[in-house]
Structure 1
Amino acid sequence: MLKIITSTLLFSFSSLAFAKSYSNISLEVLGYDSNKKAVLILENSASYEIPRVYRYSLSEKRYDLLKYDENFTGITDQQAFQQKLLNIKTQLKPLKNIVLQDVNVNLLEQRSSDTQSSAPFKTIYGSIFTISTPQYQSLQQNLTSYSPEIKLKQAFELPKNKGVLITFESLSLPFDDGYSREEAVVLFPAGQPPK
């Protein structure tokens, strides 16, 4: 009997630990660092011990490539992270918001296939798409998700006419009832994609 109770408790604790391993992933566009010529983005999730900070370096040819910001390397304490973030935020200039109704998701291809999963998500979607405004367009994006929907979330003008930063959300984690992931993409001036 003791073995049954012990194994039941262990299973319950491991289930709880597993359930807390996943949550929605959201983005906060922190602003533009004019000294480093970079846009900083905070990626947050209840499943992260410490949020992650990324940057788009607008001084590089491929400034659509997101990189981890080295200022936060090695920080494992929440208080130290918040202090570092607060210090950096004071140096950032906010980006100008763009109305989302001027932004379009252009679906080029979307394929669905059955998964081996028992429930609740039996279908997985592979999408190829671009995002555009009348003046700007992204490179082709590839997305794997558990829902066909791609939802636009935020839009900002990049400094010095570099383009537009858009975030979109999809159902990317199939655990429990599913969790969404917000991702960022850069739109370039029309006819000026990176080489």
Structure 2
Amino acid sequence: MSKIIASSILLMFSCAAFANDYSNITLEVLGYDLNTNHIYVVENSKSYSIPKVYYYSLNEKKYDLPKYDERFTAINDQVKFEQTLAKIQPQLKPLKALDLGNFKLNLVEQKQSSQQDSTPLTSVYSSIFTVQDSQNQSKVMNLTSYSPDIKLKQAFELPRNQGALITFESLSLPFDEGYTREEAIILFPNRQLPQ
């Protein structure tokens, strides 16, 4: 009997530890590298052993497509990560923050469906939306989430009048009671959306 109780307690603690591995995902916009013409962003989460670093290359026509920085992909040590990040930070120029109140999230379509399993998140929302202000607009975005809410979080001006970088948050991670994920969108100057 004591073995069953001990096993149950161990299982309970291991499940709790496993559940605690998950957390919200947030973004930190590091800035603009004048030499490479890249915008650097760090994706943070307690569930990651090492944060993820990616960039948007403003040299490319479709500069809304992020690329993971290869200098960070093989790093599995926090100290090495901090050292590598410290090497690139001096050459980064901060982006000008913009007022989120000037941006509008346009919900084109949102469909709700039900899940068949017994998780606490019983509904799934498929959303189609765009983001714009008076001078810039995004491509049409598709999102799957576990809440109908989509919240704009951060806004920055891109150099040389190339648009804006906006981040948004949604309940898109289905673990436990659900976690939020912050994601970035590039807005292009009006009438300059790449095909």
- Under TM normalisation by the shorter chain, which class is it? over 0.9
Tell me the residue number matched to 2:172.
Answer: 172
2:91 alignment partner, SS class: coil
- How far off is 1:88 after superposition? 1.0
1:7 alignment partner, SS class: helix
Identity %: 61
RMSD, aligned α-carbons: 1.2
Tell me the residue number matched to 2:85.
Answer: 85
- How far off is 1:101 after superposition? 0.4
Deviations 1:97-130 (A, max 9, x none): 1100000000000000111232422111000000
User: 5 Å matches for 1:10-21?
Assistant: 10-21=10-21
Code of the aligned partner of 1:175: F
User: 5 Å matches for 1:27-176?
Assistant: 27-176=27-176
Tell me the residue number matched to 1:182.
Answer: 182
Deviations 1:119-143 (A, max 9, x none): 4221110000000011100000000
In the alignment, the residues of structure 1 paired with residue 153 and residue 53 of structure 2 have an alpha-carbon distance, to the nearest angstrom, of 19
* Number of residue equivalences: 195
Alignment of 1:7 with 2:3, yes or no, is no
Code of the aligned partner of 2:169: E
In the alignment, the residues of structure 2 paired with residue 27 and residue 73 of structure 1 have an alpha-carbon distance, to the nearest angstrom, of 17
Code of the aligned partner of 2:141: Q
In the alignment, the residues of structure 2 paired with residue 56 and residue 8 of structure 1 have an alpha-carbon distance, to the nearest angstrom, of 48
- How far off is 1:91 after superposition? 0.9
- How far off is 1:2 after superposition? 4.2
Of residues 4-13 and 99-108 in structure 1, the stretch that sits farther from structure 2 once superposed is 4-13
Structure 1: 5+ residue stretches without partners: none
1:184 alignment partner, SS class: strand
In the alignment, the residues of structure 2 paired with residue 135 and residue 17 of structure 1 have an alpha-carbon distance, to the nearest angstrom, of 47
1:90 alignment partner, SS class: helix
Code of the aligned partner of 1:14: S
In the alignment, the residues of structure 1 paired with residue 71 and residue 36 of structure 2 have an alpha-carbon distance, to the nearest angstrom, of 12
- How far off is 1:147 after superposition? 0.6
- How far off is 1:175 after superposition? 2.2
Code of the aligned partner of 1:186: I
In the alignment, the residues of structure 2 paired with residue 77 and residue 41 of structure 1 have an alpha-carbon distance, to the nearest angstrom, of 19
Structure 2: 5+ residue stretches without partners: none
In the alignment, the residues of structure 2 paired with residue 7 and residue 146 of structure 1 have an alpha-carbon distance, to the nearest angstrom, of 34
After TM superposition, the score normalised by the length of structure 1 is: 0.96
2:97 alignment partner, SS class: coil
1:83 alignment partner, SS class: helix
After TM superposition, the score normalised by the length of structure 2 is: 0.96
In the alignment, the residues of structure 1 paired with residue 69 and residue 6 of structure 2 have an alpha-carbon distance, to the nearest angstrom, of 44
In the alignment, the residues of structure 2 paired with residue 185 and residue 54 of structure 1 have an alpha-carbon distance, to the nearest angstrom, of 13
